[in-house]
Amino acid sequence: MTQTQSTKEQIDTGFHRQGTILAIETSCDETAVAIVRDGQEVLANVVSSQIDVHRRFGGVVPEIASRKHVETITVMIEQALDQAGLTLRDLDAIAVTQGPGLVGALLVGIMAAKSLALALNIPLIGTHHIAGHIYANQLVAKLEYPCLALVVSGGHTELVLLEREGQFRIIGRTRDDAVGEAYDKVARAVGFPYPGGPHMDRLALEAAEVVTLPRAWLEPDSYDFSFSGVKSAVLNVVNQAKMKGEPPMPAAIARGFQESVIDVLITKAMRAIKEYGAKQLLLCGGVAANRGLRAALTERCALEQVPLVIPPFEYCTDNAAMIGAAGFLKWKHQQFVGLDFTAEPTFSLEQWSIMSS
């Protein structure tokens, strides 16, 4: 069965425009389950984090992540149903992250979703992780098209144009490290444990001094990003301090790094807003929880009178409410997947776009 086939067996239970969707997210190291109604009303949203497990290794270990998902997925589904005050029979569809992500981790969520959809005889929706981050904004505001999404996370840094609902066009992406990945690597260089982003953000906001670091603008008309240069510049500053027997000034480095990253992200986003006539700017992804970025983007958008939507912190990091919000797009268009679908660790966002009826 293909993604566009809405099989009679799946929808004979009674399709309607509004639906109660149980959503599952297991793309990396959070086991998350949510129940979302009508793509906007969050009835339940529970997350089990594995940060403490992976911290000792300095990053996510895929096999351990998969095992932890297996251990917790059933419990998380039960907790979500209890939180929403619903039973399995109250569900209209199951949405699950199909990709991108760690293949073993994705498969745990997918197998749980397939089992539920088969047992309940309800539609199954394969969902894109980044589409989820983008449509997390729909949980707090009405989206106006065309709009521009600035996606900033541990694995992705992209500028995505949405000309209409569910249609994604990537106009810029990182050529090397994602911004969250760069944060973690720089944090490790100045002595902070995984995940390093929150430590860097806190230090940057507290720092009285700053180490000026370079900005990578690339070609004049490019919307792509590159963070390997500023990361290397930080390593040079740290190594020079060590050779001189001086402390590396982590707060000043954190501020310099954060200012460099934010400057490039905001400048390119503002230029894209003007070029494409976007009506809104959406901030999406785990790094959207960064207080320095949120404050700087809010100030710049107010100055240039650009409507800005930022999800609350609980919808920035990986969660399943965002998967339910994005999955509702497919529900409305009856674009479901069959039980033979599988994980797509390098799933294309543009490929996942809503297909014309």
What would the pLDDT profile of 163-174 be if each residue is shown by its tens digit? Answer: 999 999 999 999
Considering the four listed CATH numbers 3.30.420.40, 3.40.50.150, 3.20.80.10, 1.10.1740.10, the one that applies to the domain covering 8-135+316-352 is: 3.30.420.40
Count CA within 13 A, CB hemisphere, residue 340. Answer: 4
Percent of the chain with pLDDT over 70: 94
CA nearest neighbour of 17 among 85, 93, 86:
93
Q: Is the pLDDT of residue 104 over 60?
A: yes
pLDDT bracket for residue 193 (50, 70, 90) = confident
What are the φ/ψ torsions at residue 24 (nearest 5 degrees)? -125, 130
Q: Is the pLDDT of residue 334 over 90?
A: yes
Look at strands 41-49 and 30-37 and give their pairing: antiparallel
What pLDDT shows up at residue 57? 78
Gap between the Cα atoms of 181 and 225, Å rounded:
13
pLDDT bracket for residue 303 (50, 70, 90) = very high
Q: Read off the tokens for 185.
A: 């690597």
Residue-wise pLDDT for 202-241, tens only, equals: 999 999 999 999 999 999 999 999 999 999 999 999 999 9
pLDDT bracket for residue 18 (50, 70, 90) = low
Picking from 37-41, 87-91, 181-185, 192-196, which range would have the lowest pLDDT averaged per residue? 192-196
Q: Tell me what the mean pLDDT of segment 54-60 comes to.
A: 80
Q: Is the pLDDT of residue 356 over 80?
A: no
Place of tokens 């996942």: 352
Picking from 11-15, 191-195, 291-295, which range would have the lowest pLDDT averaged per residue? 11-15
Domain definitions of the chain by residue range? 8-135+316-352, 142-310
Gap between the Cα atoms of 7 and 295, Å rounded:
47
What pLDDT shows up at residue 11? 43
Q: Tell me what the mean pLDDT of segment 146-153 comes to.
A: 97
- For the domain bounded by 142-310, which CATH number is listed? 3.30.420.40
Picking from 145-159, 179-193, 267-281, which range would have the lowest pLDDT averaged per residue? 179-193
What pLDDT shows up at residue 357? 56
What pLDDT shows up at residue 55? 80
Instruction: Note the pTM of the prediction, 2 decimals.
Output: 0.91
Q: What distances in angstroms separate CA 100 from CA 17, 33, 71, 249, one per listed residue? A: 28, 17, 22, 37
What pLDDT shows up at residue 191? 87
Percent of the chain with pLDDT over 90: 82
Gap between the Cα atoms of 37 and 6, Å rounded:
20
More confident residue, 156 or 58: 156
Who contacts 41 (Cβ-Cβ below 8 Å, separation ≥6)? none
Q: Tell me what the mean pLDDT of segment 46-62 comes to.
A: 83
pLDDT bracket for residue 6 (50, 70, 90) = very low
What pLDDT shows up at residue 332? 93
Each residue of 3-36: b (16+ CB within 10 Å) or e? beeeeeebbeeeeeeebbbbbbbbbbbbbbbbbb
Q: Which of the residue ranges 2-6, 193-197, 244-248, 334-338 has the most confident prediction, judged by mean pLDDT?
A: 334-338
| Residue-averaged pLDDT of the chain | 92
Q: Is the pLDDT of residue 270 over 50?
A: yes
- List the Cα angle 177/183/187 in 5-degree steps: 130
Q: Is the pLDDT of residue 350 over 50?
A: yes
What pLDDT shows up at residue 117? 97
Q: DSSP assignment, residue 139?
A: G
Whether 142-310 and 8-135+316-352 are alike in CATH topology: the answer is yes
Q: Is the pLDDT of residue 196 over 50?
A: yes
pLDDT bracket for residue 248 (50, 70, 90) = confident
